[in-house]
Amino acid sequence: MAGTVSREVRNALAAVAISVVAYKLVKFLWTVFWEPLRLLRIMTKQGVKGPPFRPLIGHIFEPVAFAESFPEVLPLGNYDNLSPTITPQYALYCPKYGKSFVYFWATNARYVMRDAETAKEVFVTNHGSLKRIDIEETITSLVVGRGLFTLMGDKWAMERKILTPFFHQDALKGMVEAMVEATAIGIKKWEQTVALAGGSAEIDVQPDIHKISGRILSCTAFGGDFEKGELIYELQSEVSRQLFINFRNPLSWIIPNYRKIPTPGNRYIDTRNATIDALLRETIVGRRDVVRSGKTSSYGDDLLGRMLAAASEGWDGNTSEFNLASVLNNCKLFYFAGQDTVANTVVFAMLMLAQHPEWQERARREVLEVLGSEENFNASALSRLKVVGMILNETLRIFPPAPTNTRQATKDLQLKKVFIPKGMILELPITALHQDRDYWGDDVAEFNPGRFENGVSGACTHPQAFVPFGLGPKFCVGSNFALMEAKIAISMAIRRFQILPSPNYKHHPIFSIVARPKYGMPIILKALSTTL
């Protein structure tokens, strides 16, 4: 009797084990073969082409190898080459398969739409039928947290409503003085270096501009603790660099939940994120405790204060409420994204000014005419800097901070030109749209700020062909803040210096969370002969 029972138990356990293995096998085959091939068949029937299907890893490493095949120093002056070291997938596949194609990022099918009208249909008209890609949300959140940038749906709408007032034009007017003062510290450092060198010096402006941007962010959004903000940003940068190292390991794409395995790289990320969270908790609790102690009745009008005034208690990041965890995540977002995007835009703008002295001189004349001394810097005057604005727009066209925008369809979408099946990842190739001759004309390869003289409508043939801050309702909430900061930095720099190209600059832009120069930005700064 006991032997019979024992056999029945063993048989039952074996049946369970076989069922589990069979389920896992079916799920694996579904994920790796059936679903990707289903999506590919649907697109192929509509005439959409792409590179041959590769299971499991897809085409992740082919564009990487293509980017690495280019020399360390690339030529300057050709801006319709689809930026092969920033977005190699477009430079590699667009010439072969056309403006729209399907390729695979691991097991995920991606439909690239280099068509402004289709992009509008997807990201504007049908934005409610899209979601963030799970793997990208997970990766991005490791650097910038699970704040406004990674959220979708009702929680995103709630947080957007809370954060938007900080970036209104009326609120920005009160930030100009702080932005000017923060920028002046970095400019003063350059003046001292140039003076010691006899009136002209080569300076790698990239780290200094990041410090200027970080100081502005600390002063306007987080109460002025620049040293802590600088440490948080550097830790986030270290996390970002390690993530890109992890991406090059095929095991990170093959093994499920690879991020949870305690590899040296994963532990490196976890320890730094723990430090970042501790620093941000200290800042949040410190501001909250000042109010609770009765020393003041307000959390303040900066971004942190506005968030704390709206936040409920609790640190549960999975709740639908806007609580202290939401405050922490959005602090993490703006410390990094709020600094990295605008700083690198200013860095590339200085490169363009050095390469195109005629536009630099036009901008300088405008700054002197409109602003005069720094005491005249105000929001109204900054809005009249038309030439500076044109230069920044052209810089954003050539070097958009975020070169792609991706979403996943949560249901079938029938568009005018194509049917999008549920589950398909939609990729908006911002860099490729910005370099498309059909939208920008025969001078698309040139640096020509004059194309924006009559605004975006006069610069290109479709408004969705220029989307440096994204497209649709998730358009970057901080775009006006970024442009004001960039205008101030550029205006103050060209008032004091002639910006000249350095023979030591190695042009090799790359993508690491945002577009940035790989080898810094050495620039020759020459003091102007008169005090401006």
- Which residues partner with 532 through β-bridges? none
**How many CB atoms neighbour CB 380 within 10 A?**
10
Residue 202 has pLDDT above 90, yes or no: yes
Neighbours of 212 (CB within 10 A): 28
pLDDT at 5: 58
- Given a cut of 60, whether residue 1 has pLDDT beyond it is no
* Cβ-contact 136, 148 below 8 angstroms: no
Average pLDDT score over residue span 209-223: 93
56 and 26, same structural domain?
no
Q: Give me the mean pLDDT over the 20-28 stretch.
A: 82
Q: In terms of residues, how long is the chain?
A: 532
pLDDT of residue 247: 83
On average, the pLDDT of the chain sits at 92
- Find out whether 331 is annotated in a ligand binding site: no
On whether both 372 and 513 belong to a single domain, the answer is: yes
In a domain, 130, yes or no: yes
Query: What was the pLDDT predicted at 518?
Result: 96
**pLDDT at residue 149, rounded to an integer:** 86
On the question of pLDDT at 275 being above 50, the answer is yes
The pLDDT of residue 422 is above 80: yes
Contacts of 90 (CB under 8 A, 6+ apart): 82, 83, 112, 114, 429, 431, 432
List the beta bridge partners of residue 419. Answer: 414
Return the pLDDT at 3. Answer: 59
Rounded Cα distance between 321 and 437, Å, is 46
Distance CA 156, CA 147 (A): 8
The mean pLDDT of 255-273, rounded to a whole number, is 90
CB atoms within 10 A of CB 110: 22
- 112: β partners: 101, 427
pLDDT band with cut points at 50, 70 and 90 for residue 371: confident
* 176 and 202 both lie in a single domain: yes
- Which long-range contacts (C-beta less than 8 Å, at least 24 apart) are formed by 65-70? 66/91, 66/92, 67/510, 70/508
Same domain, 15 and 154: no
For the cut 90, the answer to whether the pLDDT of residue 69 exceeds it is yes
Three-class DSSP category at 398 = helix
CATH classification of the domain holding 370 = 1.10.630.10
pLDDT at 103 over 60: yes
Q: How far out from the chain centre does Cα 397 lie?
A: 14
CA distance 129 to 425: 12
Each residue of 220-258: b (16+ CB within 10 Å) or e?
bbbbebbebbbebbebbbbbbebbeebeeeeebbeeeee
Q: What is the pLDDT confidence band of residue 513, given thresholds at 50, 70 and 90? A: confident
Question: Which residue type, as a one-letter code, is found at position 162?
Answer: I
Other CB atoms within a 10 A radius of the CB of residue 330 amount to: 26
Contacts of 295 (CB under 8 A, 6+ apart): none
State the burial class of residue 291 (Cβ atoms within 10 Å of its Cβ: 0-12, 13-18, 19+). Answer: middle
Q: Where are the alpha helices (DSSP H) in 48-123?
A: 61-68, 88-97, 116-120
Phi, then psi, of 90 in degrees rounded to 5: -75, -45
Confidence at residue 312, expressed as pLDDT on a 0 to 100 scale: 92
The span from the CA of 471 to the CA of 291, in Å, is 39
> Does 375 lie in the same domain as 327?
yes
SS3 198: coil
- Count of beta carbons in the 10 Å neighbourhood of residue 277: 18
CB 287 within 8 A of CB 308: yes
Are 31 and 57 contained in the same domain?
no
Phi-psi region of 320 (alpha: psi -120 to 50; beta: other; left: phi over 0): alpha
pLDDT at residue 532 in the model: 45
Q: How many angstroms separate the CA atoms of 290 and 191, rounded?
A: 39
Amino acid in the structure at residue 49: K
The tokens for 271 are: 């320890």
Q: Both 166 and 300 in a single domain?
A: yes
Q: Note down the domain range covering 383.
A: 46-527
Whole-prediction pTM: 0.93
Edge-to-edge order in the sheet of strand 497-501: 200-204, 522-527, 497-501
- Residue that has been written with the tokens 């690491």 in this structure: 512
Checking if the pLDDT of 531 tops 70, the result is no
Question: Is the per-residue pLDDT at 17 higher than 90?
Answer: no
pLDDT for 375 equals 67
Q: Name the burial class of residue 445, with classes exposed (0-12), middle (13-18) and buried (19+) by CB atoms within 10 angstroms of its CB.
A: middle
What pLDDT sits at residue 138? Answer: 67
Task: Tell me, yes or no, whether 139 and 171 share the same domain.
Answer: yes
Q: What is the mean pLDDT of residues 86-96?
A: 96
C-alpha to C-alpha distance for 224 and 29, rounded to whole angstroms? 53
CA dihedral 319, 322, 327, 330 (to 10 degrees): 90
Give the containing element (helix H, strand E) for 47.
Answer: none
Does residue 350 share a domain with residue 298? yes
Segment among 156-160, 293-297, 407-411, 501-505 with least mean pLDDT: 293-297
Pair of tokens at residue 364: 């300088």
Is residue 180 scored above 60 in pLDDT?
Answer: yes
Same domain, 478 and 396: yes
The closest alpha carbon to 143, from 234, 236, 210, belongs to 236
- Count of CB atoms situated within 10 Å of the CB of 511: 19
Distance CA 250, CA 244 (A): 12
- Looking at the fold, whether 19 and 155 belong to one and the same domain comes out as no
Q: Are residues 316 and 371 in the same domain?
A: yes
Question: Residue 141: its pLDDT value, please?
Answer: 86
Q: Cα 148 from chain centroid?
A: 13
Domain count, the chain: 2
Mean predicted confidence (pLDDT) in 333-346:
92
Confidence at residue 186, expressed as pLDDT on a 0 to 100 scale: 95
- Please check whether residue 532 lies inside any domain of the structure: no
Q: What per-residue confidence (pLDDT) applies to 256? A: 78
Radius of gyration (C-alpha) of the chain in whole angstroms: 25
Output the CA angle 444-447-451, nearest 5 degrees. Answer: 70
Q: Are 499 and 528 in contact (CB under 8 A)?
A: no
> Looking at residues 90-104, what average pLDDT do you find?
96
- C-alpha 372/C-alpha 388 separation (Å) is 15
